[in-house]
Structure 1
Amino acid sequence: MKNDSALSRRTFIKTAGIGAVFPTVLTPVFPQLPTALDVPDLEKIKALLATKDPNIWLFTGDSITHGAKHTHGSRSYPEIFAERLRWELKRVRDLVINTGISGNATRNILSDFDWRISQFKPAVVSLMIGTNDCARKEITTAVFEQNLTDIVLKIRALGAVPILHTPNPIILEKAPERSTLPDYVPVIRNVSNAQAVILVDNYQHWQATTDTNVNREWLNDPLHPGARGHQEIARLLFRTLSIFDAQEPTCGGPYYEGEH
């Protein structure tokens, strides 16, 4: 006669589908908790922000993420994010790394993935890309979709949370070599949907803004955001991640507090 504990163990093994041979290490089973695949990425972000352990947040992409030249010395959106995270949210031990490189496309991210992303062991990887892809004839929308999907899968393989951005709109008539950018934006949305990735839809936000002259106020040239444009990208990211607070300076609240 077999004891109850043996029967319970056998029942558990059959139910779990583990089989007769155990692997060297078994992941503990907690039926009351969802598995990692069941946790939406926004919930993972929320958990990262709640933990006391420090995390690495990595931004990569092209010149827009790089923040090259067109900010006129003001902060780029990854730098604004760092201010929100490390000062306003008091996560002072978190690290924000920016590996964006001007002129890059998806193929550059893939070929340089280990240096640009893997080595840092990030918890979160934010990617804005596409403004250069659309100017490369060899990177069709189909190739772009495959490249973007491969990047997302490689990020997930690191155990990191991916975040995708659509780029900001550009002045098409002044950048004819990038006239197909509107064809690449839906690809980013499609990959986001297919891979259940957080999407920061800058393109939609900028197009939907009617109370300001976006081209004049938010762009510094036909392609690149200026200081105000980077603020808008950062604030949309904050809203998407549910960390926007209108009273805080990075979100538009007052910076000035001195008495002279």
Structure 2
Amino acid sequence: MISPRLRALISSVSIVCSTAFAAEQWGKPGGELRIHERAVHLESLPMGPFAKLPDGGLVTVDESVNALVSRDDGRTWHTNRIFAEPDKFEIRPERAILGTREGMVIVAFANNAERGKFRWDVKTHDTRGKPHLPTYVVRSVDGGKTWERPQKMHDDWTGAIRDMIQTREGTIVFTSMMLRHKPGRHTVVTYASRDDGRTWQQSNVIDLGGIGHHGGATEATIVQLADGSLLMLMRSNWGKLWRCVSKDDGLTWHPMGPGTIDASAAPAILERLQSGRIFLAWNRYYYEGTKDFPPYGGDDHATGTPTSVQRRELSIAFSEDEGRTWGEPIVVARAPKSNGVWLNRQVAYPYVFERRPGEIWLTSWPGGLRVKLSEEVFTGPLGRPHVIAFGDTSTARRGNLAIYPKQIREIMRERGRSIHVSNAAEPMQNTASARKVLQDRVLRRQPRVVILQFGINDAAIDVWKDPPAKGSRVPIGKYEENLRHFIAKIRAIGARPILMTPNPLAWTDNLKKFYGKPPYKLEDPNGINEFLNIYAVVCRKIAADEDVPLVDVYRAFKSRTDKLLLDGMHPNQAGHRLIAELLAPVLLEAVD
């Protein structure tokens, strides 16, 4: 959904960026763009999206009336006509394609041949009349050789069609858009088919309000989560990708509000990888390393609020926890520069395709990006110091909470150091269970630094059990032995360990319910830390004996648990920020 007016504005923007990361010679040439040094340019590849055929071939469509089929991994392409009446159809660049598990090929597209005039009235903040740009679906049952008659889904103006998936239950779902009026704005809608694309059901219309010829909710991408629900991320003008969830295979959607991902007014694309990770490609709100971008809109004509139209850098990120949190964004392509000024290029509207496990093809409409990425390479350190956080419930991911492994990346970046942080913690992990997975989760990944924080799950006495436990889950002697073992093994691979004491706990009604029995002292405000304190003392002793840097979280939290804990046990946002700030100088010294 790129109007001539918006294209002209983006083309006119010339930004001089002073950061080292934005140097003219960043990356390497990739067509008309600069691409990441570890990306591979694919010269002969057409624009995606792509779908796999049952025989291993590939299929896509062009920006006209043809299906393109390749039998040699995308090096050459054979053309098949899609429409019996080609003068009545023209496939727009924003489209979606799917190869189903049953062998069907389905294409969803907006028909440019029926496109009406889109004329914006600055007085009414709406279009003059109701322009048409219909959504269609067309299906092939023989691998793209022949095609059935197209089915029209709706006549409303379709700003863009961006994504199509098949759920584990077999339902096919694709995203589309509808223009709404009084005031003029865009909305998102999906269509779902439970019979291999023969018939379709429309979802509820996702209308987030807004105003303007580029206002409202637009250009959605979807992925199925582990629990069976569908996650949708929509382009918005509010600086974030907007989230929606469906629990009935795309028939009804429930807006959840803005996510944590900053984004310009440009669409993202999601993909579930064979590894289980979720891949995201999008244009961030700001250029890498900056905090400014000329605003667009805010006049109730283009948009109701000023927004960024940053489309000169394309970033990727990976999620390992079903989209709750994302790894550090990595710029994989950007427009070239001359004498510090951006040239007239964009790299936006990405399409992603996992050709084979771990091999990601990323293409774009504006900019002509055509690259191959290795999942293993781009989920690794990429030459940056690799830091692994290995711990228990305080270190493990917790929903959208910005835990210290995430915050330390940001602090280090502010201090001029880029690091790669992996989180190898688990909520119920203690030193005994962690010892069993040390090799697989930590050592084999060859980190430079390993942060160790254990104690809460080791010291706990499960008095809530029947019969009640009489001792800690991991005895203090075994706890000490395990920590010393971790230190020795980490040093044996040439890495540096950092020890952190556990954070203290605080009584809450829920903790009293489970732990308000002897030997814990319920009447003592600090009674829940009766045994945890001993583990913190041992942790300090080990740090001194082994000459390991120590971050004493226990002492830093001790008099402020009411302000630093989420639920009496886990650090809240402020608590994780404090841990990250205490850790930063120690980590800076360790990675140098």
Shorter-normalised TM range: 0.5 to 0.7
Give the number of the structure whose residues are more often helix, by fraction.
1
Query: Displacement of 1:222 after TM fit?
Result: 1.4
**How many percent of aligned residue pairs carry the same amino acid?**
31
1:228 aligns with 574
Q: What is the distance in 1 between the residues matched to 2:417 and 2:582?
A: 20
2:414 aligns with 88
Gapped regions of structure 1 (runs ≥ 5): 1-52, 244-260
**SS of equivalent residue, structure 1 residue 169:** coil
1:128 aligns with 453
Q: 1:101 aligns with which of 417, 423, 426?
A: 426
2:506 aligns with 171
Q: What is the distance in 2 between the residues matched to 1:129 and 1:219?
A: 17
Q: What is the distance in 2 between the residues matched to 1:172 and 1:106?
A: 24
Q: Within the alignment, does 1:219 sit opposite 2:219 as a pair?
A: no
**Larger Rg: 1 or 2?**
2
Q: What is the distance in 2 between the residues matched to 1:181 and 1:74?
A: 24
Query: Displacement of 1:236 after TM fit?
Result: 1.1
Q: 1:206 aligns with which of 557, 574, 579?
A: 557
Q: Within the alignment, does 1:79 sit opposite 2:394 as a pair?
A: no
1:68 aligns with 398
Report the residue type matching 1:167 in the other structure: P
1:9 aligns with none
> Which has the larger displacement, 179-188 or 161-170?
179-188
TM-score (ref. length: structure 1): 0.64
1:186 aligns with 537
Q: Relative contact order: is structure 1 or structure 2 higher (C-alpha 8 Å, sep ≥ 6)? A: 1
Say whether the 8 Å CA contact 2:498–2:549 is kept in structure 1: yes
Q: Within the alignment, does 1:162 sit opposite 2:513 as a pair?
A: no
**SS of equivalent residue, structure 2 residue 405:** helix
Q: Within the alignment, does 1:142 sit opposite 2:477 as a pair?
A: yes
1:47 aligns with none
Report the residue type matching 1:55 in the other structure: P
Give the number of the structure whose residues are more often strand, by fraction.
2
Report the residue type matching 1:225 in the other structure: P
Query: Displacement of 1:128 after TM fit?
Result: 0.7
Report the residue type matching 2:552 in the other structure: D
**SS of equivalent residue, structure 2 residue 433:** helix
Say whether the 8 Å CA contact 1:166–1:185 is kept in structure 2: yes
Q: What is the distance in 1 between the residues matched to 2:439 and 2:580?
A: 26
**SS of equivalent residue, structure 1 residue 143:** helix
Report the residue type matching 1:104 in the other structure: Q
Gapped regions of structure 2 (runs ≥ 5): 1-382, 462-471, 521-527
Deviations 1:128-173 (A, max 9, x none): 1100000153521111111111111111111100000001110157
Structure 2 counterparts to residues 7-46 of structure 1, below 5 A = none
Q: What is the distance in 1 between the residues matched to 2:547 and 2:453?
A: 16
**SS of equivalent residue, structure 2 residue 500:** strand
User: Would the alpha carbon gap of residues 181 and 89 (structure 1) be closer, same or farther in structure 2, given more than 3 Å must change?
Assistant: same
Report the residue type matching 2:579 in the other structure: I
Deviations 1:158-209 (A, max 9, x none): 11000000011101574637641111111100110111000000111122x5
Q: What is the distance in 1 between the residues matched to 2:485 and 2:535?
A: 16
Query: Displacement of 1:241 after TM fit?
Result: 4.5
Q: What is the distance in 1 between the residues matched to 2:384 and 2:574?
A: 30
Pairs aligned (count): 182
Report the residue type matching 2:428 in the other structure: G
Deviations 1:226-249 (A, max 9, x none): 111101111111244468xxxxxx
Q: What is the distance in 1 between the residues matched to 2:415 and 2:577?
A: 17
Say whether the 8 Å CA contact 1:109–1:116 is kept in structure 2: no
